[in-house]
Amino acid sequence: MLTEFERRFVSLLTEMICSPEVGTADIRRRRLARRTGDAAKVFSALERLGYGTFPSDMEDYFSRYQEIGILWRGDRPFSDVGGEISLPHLGDSIALGPPPWSRQGEWPEPERELYSQLRVFDKHEKGGVGSSASLRMGVEGSAPEVWFFHSSRGAVLLDIDYCEYMESLFVTRGFYGWQYLFADISFEDGRYSASGDAIARSLSYLQSTFPDSDYSDLRRRMTARGG
Would you give the DSSP letter of residue 158?
Answer: B
- Which pTM does this prediction carry? 0.93
According to the model, what pLDDT value does residue 94 have? 86
In the predicted structure, residue 144 carries a pLDDT above the cut 80: yes
Higher pLDDT, 140 or 154: 154
The residue among 191 and 48 whose pLDDT is bigger is: 191
Q: Three-state DSSP class for 121?
A: strand
Compute the distance between CA of residue 91 and CA of residue 83 in angstroms, rounded to an integer. Answer: 24
Alpha-carbon torsion (66, 99, 14, 216), positive or negative: positive
Q: At what angle do helices 193-209 and 216-224 cross, to 10 degrees?
A: 160
Ranges 3-12, 125-134, 138-147, most confident: 3-12
Question: Is the bond into 99 cis (omega within 30 degrees of 0)?
Answer: no
- Assign 101 a pLDDT band (cuts: 50, 70, 90): confident
pLDDT at 141: 60
Structure confidence at residue 105 as a pLDDT band (50, 70, 90): low
73-84 tens-digit pLDDT? 999 889 999 999
Q: If we measure between CA atoms, which residue out of 125, 173, 202 comes closest to residue 18? A: 173
pLDDT surpasses 60 at 25: yes
Which of the pair, 128 or 36, is modelled with greater confidence? 128
Instruction: Give the rounded distance of the alpha carbon of 41 from its chain centre.
Output: 23
